[in-house]
Structure 1
């Protein structure tokens, strides 16, 4: 390699002014490469180039007012002994494609059933100084390590700022910041996939599955957030697909518009009964439309002592339960919310959504997603043309991050994330 190329690569990977940062010799060639040397730790920014393999051997930090762009096809390998945290003080742009997603993972030989619920690295923790985070066509897996007094996040006062906390896959906390997560996958994490304490937010066309050992939500939203959540698949999360709250009393009040999501087998692995599909509390302002619940542990559930904002709206949900026990637990009552135009019955097996390929008899506590399953709808599904489009999203014009506009998808008149195939 020419000297100029080597110097360019080093500058892109890490700040030369930080003497404690380990430097890596990474080619700028676009063919797949393997990182040499001692791996990456410390401060990083610039570009991780297309097709690179980046080995992270210690906590990494994107500095304030700096950005890291991860190009398509990059594989980021987190060391399972160091269990690194990915700290974002500046901006992070993970820009995969459908054919070549970015993957943040562990060594392939360690991706075993014994590590199904992660704990092998921390998570992506975006400080209140982080103004933009983008995850596009990005796979995050096998994380959620438990913090200690030595954790960088604890020392910096990030997330819950104490030891003994299970890191989420993604934490975002800037009420003035912007977060877009689209076409991405969260799987095999110990606890929450996301924990969001502020920002203008879009989650669209993502998959959340096989997450949570003894607790954990798919999307966990607190005060300070304005969010559109649509066309996502939630399968086998330990507790809720969505936990929506205004806890923290930050401004603005949490307002979530969640529509056209498909939620299956959620809530059953939690040792104690709480929620199992969508949980609402503490004056959160929510609008829920066109969501499909199949074999979820409960219907939309509220904290009766600290309920949602009275302006909240619930419309056009479809509920299916293979067993009578499941059906009984989504019947409306004080803590289970009844919506307008819901498709709901009291009989097991009613309202079969007619998925293209999914055995509805699958055990409700199953957390393993089979890649052959297809949650599109067949002709004759009761979910077809039973939704509504008569509502306004938080971001009908999308959110612009790093100069690119990312759309909040328009709703469809079908219920669920996947229409007719």
Structure 2
């Protein structure tokens, strides 16, 4: 497979890069990319390209931009610290990506795109201290790829100063925004935490979202992952704790010519949907607006709404091309059972789903008490009412030290369906390629054979 190579960054002993932007086959032989244009100053500003060097810490107090045709690469163990306070766009700098941005952390040496240590505390989770990673191609330009591996991205969402095609003036920015239907967005083994609104929104792209952990996403609303038209790919083996609205929303809204098509499988969603005040919103997985795909092998644990498939002309999902099943539903209150399938949606249980009465089918995690909060105390008749994040214990919103692997007696073991293939649309090969895993035989993000989510 061939694609436009990364200029001045993605270089290894076995990879020849042409300065004329010629196409070449990417075949990097080692995970650690040999530095091209090493960046030695610890302060970044303006237009940047090159390599942030392994183990070093860098800072930016104003917007930094990766220009079209350029690449910024973070080697492993890098910390990139935003110096902001979230009070305005001028004081919440963003990373503008018109080219390509690669963060290549490892399990042993993860990367951080974060804020100063003294600001990293729960009460700042929704403050929007910096502006996030904003990836859009310039008009009549090709743009580039966003590849993030073993990277913590956190505490973003500061307000937009002026209106754009994406934001109204004053709107909180997304922690990650990606809008390039022809390019790749690969997010693997990362931690996404502390977003003011949506943590991630895509308006087009070839997606592979694998084995990540999402925490503290959305103050009063917003998804962990909000996928719009032009987006095609796989969302698998992720953990989502306490998203404000949905863990994953797929909607074909937008003006892209490619229909939103996303497979969502083997994910674990816990305590999602409780901060969204609008009726009919909030929970686990939501397909609407002519979106299509598959949703199998997921765990819905104490979500305000679990599965929501919108019906009806104009606003409904592409029902003939949407399938789901082999999911486990758990709720410790009647209001949660009532919304295993959203009452304003058209989804129904399949024979292969696992669901039952209050507190039935506990997934039996190794170290996480699914009944540590009694949702009957929220009241409500058919649906649990909304709450603020201050009314939710931190253990409902973050994984912390919890072990979400399944005990041997879990009803989720061996109940997965494996007879379908990932869409696997990304076009990058070599060491930077997406590590797409097939559907697992056990439900949820963790497999009993040790595969799946590695957090």
TM (normalized to structure 2)? 0.79
Q: Name the counterpart of 1:16.
A: none
Q: Name the counterpart of 2:160.
A: 147
State which of 117, 126, 131 in structure 1 corresponds to 2:144.
131
Q: Name the counterpart of 1:389.
A: 418
Gaps of 5+ in 1: 1-27
Question: Does the Cα contact within 8 Å between 2:421 and 2:438 map onto a contact in 1?
Answer: no
Question: Does the Cα contact within 8 Å between 2:310 and 2:346 map onto a contact in 1?
Answer: no
Q: Deviations over 1:379-413 (max 9, x none)?
A: 121111111011121118x6416863222111111
Question: Does the Cα contact within 8 Å between 2:55 and 2:79 map onto a contact in 1?
Answer: yes
Query: RMSD of aligned C-alpha atoms?
Result: 2.2
**Higher relative contact order at CA 8 Å, sep ≥6: structure 1 or structure 2?**
2
SS of the aligned residue for 1:210 comes to strand
Q: What is the deviation of 1:340?
A: 2.7
CA 1:132/1:415 → structure 2, altered by over 3 Å: closer, same or farther? same
Whole-Å Cα distance in 2 between the matches of residues 67 and 414 of structure 1? 39
Q: Name the counterpart of 1:268.
A: 274
Task: Please show how residues 8-407 of structure 1 align to structure 2 within 5 Å.
Answer: 39-81=43-85, 82-128=91-137, 129-149=142-162, 154=163, 157=164, 160-273=166-279, 274-305=281-312, 306-310=315-319, 311-331=321-341, 333=343, 335=345, 337-363=347-373, 365-366=392-393, 367-395=396-424, 399-400=427-428, 404-407=432-435
Question: Does the Cα contact within 8 Å between 1:67 and 1:93 map onto a contact in 2?
Answer: yes
Whole-Å Cα distance in 1 between the matches of residues 434 and 79 of structure 2? 23
Whether 1:414 aligns to 2:442 is: yes
Question: Does the Cα contact within 8 Å between 2:160 and 2:168 map onto a contact in 1?
Answer: yes
SS of the aligned residue for 1:220 comes to strand
Whole-Å Cα distance in 2 between the matches of residues 303 and 89 of structure 1? 34
Whole-Å Cα distance in 1 between the matches of residues 432 and 305 of structure 2? 38
Whole-Å Cα distance in 2 between the matches of residues 378 and 278 of structure 1? 25
Whole-Å Cα distance in 1 between the matches of residues 122 and 234 of structure 2? 33
Q: What is the deviation of 1:339?
A: 4.1
Question: Does the Cα contact within 8 Å between 2:251 and 2:290 map onto a contact in 1?
Answer: yes
CA 1:401/1:132 → structure 2, altered by over 3 Å: closer, same or farther? farther
Q: Deviations over 1:162-200 (max 9, x none)?
A: 312211111111111111000001001111111101111
Count of residues in Structure 1 that have an aligned counterpart in Structure 2? 382
Q: What is the deviation of 1:230?
A: 0.4
Gaps of 5+ in 2: 1-33, 86-90, 376-391, 451-455
Q: What is the deviation of 1:372?
A: 1.7
